[in-house]
Amino acid sequence: MKTTGLNLLISDKPDPERDSVAESFASGGGAVHRIGRFWDPPVFDPSTVRVYGADSFCLVLQQKLGLTLCSPDDGLLLQVPPEFLKRQIARHTLAQISTITFPSFVKPLVPKQFRGAVYQSSGELAAECRGLTPDTAVFTSEPVTLIAEARTFVIEGHVLDAAVYEGKADVVGVGTFVTRMTQIMPLPHTVVVDVGFIDGRGWAVVEFNAAWGAGLNGCDPDKVLPAIVAASGPKYDAALPTENPIA
């Protein structure tokens, strides 16, 4: 991918995945800047800036440099058609803990507010969420067993690459499954879709992540770079693949 005239801002801390994205970006002609004091960044023309890294790094740079980041809506999982979820998912608040059937898998609607896990009782969940307000929104779902997990980078409905990062599974099936979903469900113009293989049910959507902050988890940086670049810049307008490249 050509990146001439663009500036990629990443953390100055070494990281193999981030470094491989930087290498791919630089090979396309772009300039890579390793930023330490990201809360006090150098001056750039915002239209040339792309970012990749941890949430805190990218969100602070968004504020400081006036960037536009493409991020999936926190409630996007609730819009997934049942055939692609393969489990019951609901939205609650912590004030509604007593109405939840336990054991239940619970995770925060806003990522990283507490640990997403299977909780055996309302008391266990309340202890984990101590300090959060009663109106804190959560996803709940029936506990399921994932025998494999995979990551896909998607842009304008096209799967750029997929990789199985937990367990063993056919990666072609991953790409086919996510491609089918993108044909039915509207998504952000660039997004990372994580899926898991539920024992006895098949592939299912696990969560959505922003391409500007998602690790590669085995995906090829050269293949997924367009999604990463588009996540903090204008909509991708170059030629897109006409077929699933995973197949």
pLDDT in tens, 41-65: 999 999 999 999 999 999 999 999 9
141: part of which helix (H) or strand (E)? strand 137-141
User: Which of 171, 173, 181, 170 is CA-nearest to residue 208?
Assistant: 181
**What percent of the chain has pLDDT above 70?**
94
What residue segments make up the domains of the chain, in order of their start?
A: 88-141, 145-218
pLDDT confidence tier of residue 174, bands split at 50, 70 and 90? very high
**Given this model, what pLDDT does residue 99 score?**
86
pLDDT confidence tier of residue 233, bands split at 50, 70 and 90? confident
pLDDT confidence tier of residue 245, bands split at 50, 70 and 90? low
Cβ pair 163, 217 in contact under 8 A: yes
Per the prediction, the chain carries an average pLDDT of: 92
* pTM listed for this prediction: 0.88
Rounded Cα distance, 181 and 162, in Å? 14
CATH class label, 145-218: alpha beta
The label of the residue with tokens 């005239």 reads: 5
User: Which amino acid is present at 70?
Assistant: C
pLDDT in tens, 77-118: 999 999 999 999 999 999 998 888 899 999 998 888 999 999
Rounded Cα distance, 209 and 194, in Å? 8
In this structure, CATH architecture of domain 88-141: 2-Layer Sandwich (3.30)
Rounded Cα distance, 32 and 216, in Å? 18
Rounded Cα distance, 116 and 112, in Å? 8
Cβ pair 4, 30 in contact under 8 A: yes
* Helix (H/G/I), strand (E/B), else coil: 207: strand
The DSSP call for residue 151 is: E
Cα torsion 78, 141, 118, 106: sign: positive
**Given this model, what pLDDT does residue 239 score?**
42
